[in-house]
Amino acid sequence: MDEEYIVEAIRKWRLDERNETMEYFIKWVGYPESENTWEPLANLNCPLILEEYLNSLPKEEKDNHELCLVNPAHADGFQRNATFSHCVSADIGISDSSGSAISSGIGGDINLSIIVKFADSILIEEVTLADMLKKEPEALLDFFEQRILTSKRQASE
């Protein structure tokens, strides 16, 4: 007979991008934190603990959780609660008031996007500068510092 594991608490959540499955990081009754595991919702039998956990989330994280449940294909790494890996590049886009891209900067809004890599995916993703400043400000600063140092070195050669 299989041993039944009992959920003590849910510590965090993420969207597994490979199979678009919501997973929860579970603390099991009678086991230390070092034995916590990522489990899909189908493996859990703890509706009250799940409801309590979801109600405890800040509004933005709760909204991201809902987005991932409703439309997982449109969630970026931050919305999936994926582990950030590194910045790849930056992209400056110029758009008009409707959000449509335009070829000239005259009369347009400048939007800076950061191209990043998350640990849960082999693909790179585009995220907003605002999200990077909020979620990974040190990584963003390091990225731009490296670009400035590289530019200075190349200019002095």
DSSP assignment letter at 154: H
Residue 101 has pLDDT above 70, yes or no: no
Quote the pTM value.
0.59
7-74, what's its fold? Answer: OB fold (Dihydrolipoamide Acetyltransferase, E2P) (2.40.50)
Task: Inform me whether the pLDDT recorded for 105 exceeds 70.
Answer: no
Task: Report the sign of the C-alpha dihedral through residues 62, 68, 70, 74, in that order.
Answer: positive
Nearest in space to 143 (alpha carbons), one of 115, 124, 122 = 115
127: β partners: 114
Query: For the segment 26-53, what is each residue's pLDDT rounded down to a tens digit?
Result: 999 999 999 999 999 888 889 999 999 9
pLDDT in tens, 133-151: 999 999 999 999 988 887 7
- Output 73 or 23, whichever has higher pLDDT: 23
- Contact partners, residue 128, CB within 8 Å, separation at least 6: 111, 113, 114
Confidence of residue 9 (pLDDT cuts 50, 70, 90): very high
Amino acid code (one letter) for 29: V
Domain boundaries of the chain, sorted by first residue: 7-74, 84-156
Q: How far is CA 44 from the centre of its chain?
A: 23
The 3-class secondary structure across 50-108, one letter per residue, is: HHHHHHHCCHHHHHHHHHHHHCHHHCCCCCCCCCEEEEEEEEEEEECCCCCECCCCCCC
Cα 78–Cα 79–Cα 83 angle in degrees, nearest 5: 40
Q: What is the number of helices (H) and of strands (E) in the chain?
A: 4, 6
> Do the beta carbons of residue 95 and residue 102 sit within 8 Å?
yes
Geometric angle at alpha carbon 44, from 38 and 46, rounded to 5°: 125
Q: Please state, in angstroms and rounded to a whole number, the distance separating the CA atoms of residues 124 and 108.
A: 27
